[in-house]
Structure 1
Amino acid sequence: MERRTFMRATLVGTGAAAFTGTLWQRAALAAPAQNAPSPYGALQAADANGIQLPPGFTSQVVARSGQTVTGTSYTWHSAPDGGACFADGTGWIYVSNAEVSASSGGGASMIRFNSSGAVTGASRILSGTDRNCAGGKTPWNTWLSCEETDTGRVWETYPFGGTAVARPAMGRFNHEAAAADPVRRVIYLTEDKSDGCFYRFVPTTWGDLSSGTLQVLRAGTATSGTFTWANVPDPDGSPTATRNQVSGVKRFNGGEGCHYAGDTVWFTTKGDNRVWQVNLAAGTYELAYDDSLVSPGSPPLTGVDNITGASSGDLYVAEDGGNMEICMITPDDKISVFLRITGQSSSEIAGPAFNPAGNRLYFSSQRGTSGSSSNGITYCVTGPFRT
């Protein structure tokens, strides 16, 4: 399949899209991604935190569920899930969801760091919600926290201060992740159902999610082709679920993470261990990764879940189960293991997000060493990431 040259970029700053990626020419026959040695080198022995990393990288524990965040009086939430980083002028903020019921502390929290990466504060930014799984960052520096229930809502939260607000116009369904596209001025949304759909929300006014149009992707049954968008008649999803209101929709098996950069949106499906690539300018979609099509050897990435990207164009995909790894897919469609958490086989990795400088990667082990949501661990890995 002929590939196009494009720029991958990340959303940074306080309301503008900063295109900081590097131009890459996708290999003509490389997609879906194939096995290759890591550009960082082989994993080393597990460190004191039980994490195997490439040479030159180090890990630290940032927070533990049920324990006070070091340097603050705030107790970290259970089952840390989706996350994102926000620049705050001098340092940054890391936001993390809590994938538990409202009665068990569902919602989202934040940790603030100074320019050297030391914790300076932590607090709750959303409470009383259910199974806040993943979500997404907006260009105007809010966090969209998504409820993973059949009547789940998107909550717009304010890491810099403010009261969280439900955004029902974005649809009520089994929400998973969100990704903002500042070019088309839309928000992409995944649905965690075995017969789920891929959506976009078109706000009436960009920067205001209180009203707009929910649309669903329509396409054939193949793993590549062209697509169109169709309006969802009833975003409330009752009595007919949003995924069943429009004919000709494309079904995706368990939508998970979502990431936008440079006229492309990637999203993952855990039911079939795939990473999908939607080429927005061309109006086409295809597979960026499929564990059944990897060679040579065994597929490194299974339990496909949250996804994020670096300014280099590298994609980082976390595993829900698998070998408890974060794998990376390079712009030339090569896949390798970036890190592995040992001794936590009953957990999942969630919430990968880079700080604004791109030299720290935050993520969580949702259930830690015990396999219980009350024992989640949030980490930071520092090192010479590619830029």
Structure 2
Amino acid sequence: MSRPIIPVDNRWSRRDVLRTLFFTAGAAGPAAWLSGCGGDTGAAPLPVPPAGGGATPERLPDLVPETENRLVGRFANIGPLREVPDVHGVRTPEGFATRVVAINGELPQPGGMSAQWPLPGGVGNRPWHIFPDGGGVVPRDNGGWIYISNSEVPGVGSIGFTFPELAGLTTPIESFVPGLAQVGTLVFDPDGTIVDSYTILSGTTFNCAGGVTPWKTWLSCEEHPGGLVWECDPYQAGQGLACPTLGVFAHEAIAIDPQHRMLYLTEDMPDGRFYRWIADPSDWPEGAGRAALQSGRLQVLVVGGDGVEGALTGPQPIHWLDARNPHAPQHENRLAESTVFEGGEGVWYFRGIVYFATKGDDRIWAIDVAAQTIEVIYDRATAVAPNDILSGVDNLFVTDQGDVLVAEDGGDMQVVVIMPDGTLKPLLQVVGQDASEVAGIAFSPDGRRMYFTSDRGGRNGLGGFTNGLGMVYELILPDDL
């Protein structure tokens, strides 16, 4: 057996180290604020890509007027982080406040979780799950909202992630051994009171990120070599539906382009690829409000021109190839011509641009859907101060004003904002939880509250917070922002 894939030079995340430790220890526009890893939900005419194999046309219609792309970020004028963290262990700019809304093993409380010992009682019938990761928000009819949260619990299939040479054994076993991960919810009234909590998916493994759909369901991604995407109804307790057409691989996140009826998907593997899924006309008919997500074409990205390194200095042309054996594990069906993206993380569609992160090289990428080009908009290795504060790139969220919010897995536990003009600002920093990572960014429908997780955070027993089994924060934005 070769040695486990352990990161070198801190290029891989502490999540990978935790996976290794787990198994070696013996464990076998309000709409634009909603989703955690999704994207723009605006409606527009929907051109249908051609049927059959091969690439789609060199250019897709650009359906966004050029004048709408001139954006000033919502967070352009925030100040520096305060020197001293608040009572919840979070540094924020002046005017911001935080609240803890869920902690592993405790029933959520209507007014949020106390900074002291757990309170008796609570709402819902489920203690909060361990290792909360990707998240999203959907609105309620009464003006409230629901925060959705994955649980990234390893299982048999995860062994094939840490030890890829064993994936051929562990992936089949995974299909017969129910996982311990789940997807949970926090239900909020319009004033922010938590009124319920329930499970919308269980029996899965290593659910990482995902995305809210324009039709207000949640897509939860399993991150292991035999992983699937599951569609869940966030409005009631229940069980999600598997979507094998979206591929079998170590899924990280999903973004949806409703204009062209396409989904974009990242793969979190050292030799991962970047995918898109094109709905069959019968699966997402023109004019239909949603896709069935049961029939479509899975394709793999190829970067042309001067390739990946050329994208550091300017846009490079791209094209797409139909995946080989799309219903089989993709790590066993690599196309040599397809481009390797080392550790795909968050992905987001916004106004004709698909943003995604790769942790292996600490880069943020941007695909121009109309021009069919790709370029790097942030590269840690070449960043120059003061725009070099971002490392350990992970979950993404793009606001309706063009701010790209990047959560750190590694680095110093920050959420960093990449402004539309390319400058960087820290939005928050979690202190005293260095074995954790930040994830699950999502906003309430009115944009006044932002949710995020510390997936390995918890109580320290002294009224504060430290490393643990996971917690969820609420960031309350100032009124003038």
TM-score between the two structures when normalised by the length of structure 1: 0.88
Look up the match of 2:140: 88
Q: Note the C-alpha offset of 1:375.
A: 2.3
Work out which of the two has the higher radius of gyration on C-alpha atoms and give 1 or 2.
Answer: 2
SS in 2 for 1:222: helix
Equivalent pair of 2:40/2:350 in contact (CA under 8 Å): no
Look up the match of 2:153: 100
Look up the match of 1:286: 375
Q: Note the C-alpha offset of 1:279.
A: 0.8
In 1, the alpha carbon distance for the partners of 2:135 and 2:479 equals 19
Q: Which amino acid aligns with 2:471?
A: I
In 2, the alpha carbon distance for the partners of 1:372 and 1:340 equals 13
* 1:243–1:363 CA distance, 2 compared to 1 (3 A): farther
SS in 2 for 1:293: coil
In 1, the alpha carbon distance for the partners of 2:275 and 2:179 equals 29
Structure 2: which 5+ residue stretches go unaligned? 1-28, 44-63, 111-122, 156-177, 285-290
Q: Which amino acid aligns with 1:61?
A: V
Q: Deviations over 1:64-90 (max 9, x none)?
A: 011111140321000000001111122
Is 1:41 aligned to 2:79, yes or no?
yes
Equivalent pair of 1:234/1:242 in contact (CA under 8 Å): no
Q: Note the C-alpha offset of 1:171.
A: 0.7
Look up the match of 1:58: 97
Look up the match of 1:146: 221
Look up the match of 2:127: 75
Q: Note the C-alpha offset of 1:230.
A: 1.3
* Corresponding residue to 1:178 among 240, 254, 273: 254
Q: Which amino acid aligns with 2:144?
A: G
Q: Deviations over 1:297-348 (max 9, x none)?
A: 5721111000101111111100002100000011111111111111111100
Query: Could you say which structure has the higher strand fraction?
Result: 1
Q: Deviations over 1:150-209 (max 9, x none)?
A: 100001111013531011111100110001110111111000011111101112222110
In 1, the alpha carbon distance for the partners of 2:387 and 2:377 equals 17
Q: Note the C-alpha offset of 1:242.
A: 6.2
Look up the match of 1:23: 68
* 1:386–1:294 CA distance, 2 compared to 1 (3 A): farther
* Corresponding residue to 2:331 among 216, 225, 241: 241
Equivalent pair of 2:303/2:374 in contact (CA under 8 Å): no
* 1:278–1:122 CA distance, 2 compared to 1 (3 A): same
Look up the match of 2:318: 227
In 2, the alpha carbon distance for the partners of 1:123 and 1:307 equals 25
Look up the match of 1:160: 235
Q: Note the C-alpha offset of 1:384.
A: 3.3
In 2, the alpha carbon distance for the partners of 1:132 and 1:56 equals 34
* 1:26–1:120 CA distance, 2 compared to 1 (3 A): closer
Look up the match of 1:4: none
In 2, the alpha carbon distance for the partners of 1:149 and 1:222 equals 25
Equivalent pair of 2:42/2:258 in contact (CA under 8 Å): no
In 1, the alpha carbon distance for the partners of 2:373 and 2:480 equals 28
Q: Which amino acid aligns with 2:442?
A: A
RMSD, aligned CA: 2.7
Look up the match of 1:212: 296
SS in 1 for 2:226: coil
SS in 2 for 1:23: helix
SS in 2 for 1:241: helix
Is 1:256 aligned to 2:345, yes or no?
yes
Q: Note the C-alpha offset of 1:283.
A: 0.8
Look up the match of 1:322: 411
* 1:373–1:54 CA distance, 2 compared to 1 (3 A): closer
Q: Which amino acid aligns with 1:256?
A: E
Structure 1: which 5+ residue stretches go unaligned? 1-6, 28-36
* Corresponding residue to 1:133 among 208, 228, 233: 208
For these two proteins, the number of residue pairs brought into alignment is 368
Q: Deviations over 1:135-157 (max 9, x none)?
A: 11111111110001110000111
Q: Note the C-alpha offset of 1:55.
A: 0.8
Q: Note the C-alpha offset of 1:373.
A: 8.5
In 2, the alpha carbon distance for the partners of 1:16 and 1:259 equals 8
Look up the match of 1:375: 469
Look up the match of 2:162: none
- Moved >4 Å (runs of 4+): 19-22, 369-374
In 1, the alpha carbon distance for the partners of 2:434 and 2:395 equals 17
* 1:16–1:195 CA distance, 2 compared to 1 (3 A): closer
Q: Note the C-alpha offset of 1:385.
A: 8.0
Q: Deviations over 1:40-64 (max 9, x none)?
A: 0011121000100011100000000
* Corresponding residue to 2:198 among 99, 104, 123: 123
Look up the match of 2:357: 268
Q: Which amino acid aligns with 1:325?
A: Q
Q: Deviations over 1:263-305 (max 9, x none)?
A: 0110101111111111111111001111112112572111100
In 1, the alpha carbon distance for the partners of 2:129 and 2:383 equals 37
* 1:41–1:252 CA distance, 2 compared to 1 (3 A): same
In 2, the alpha carbon distance for the partners of 1:12 and 1:69 equals 21
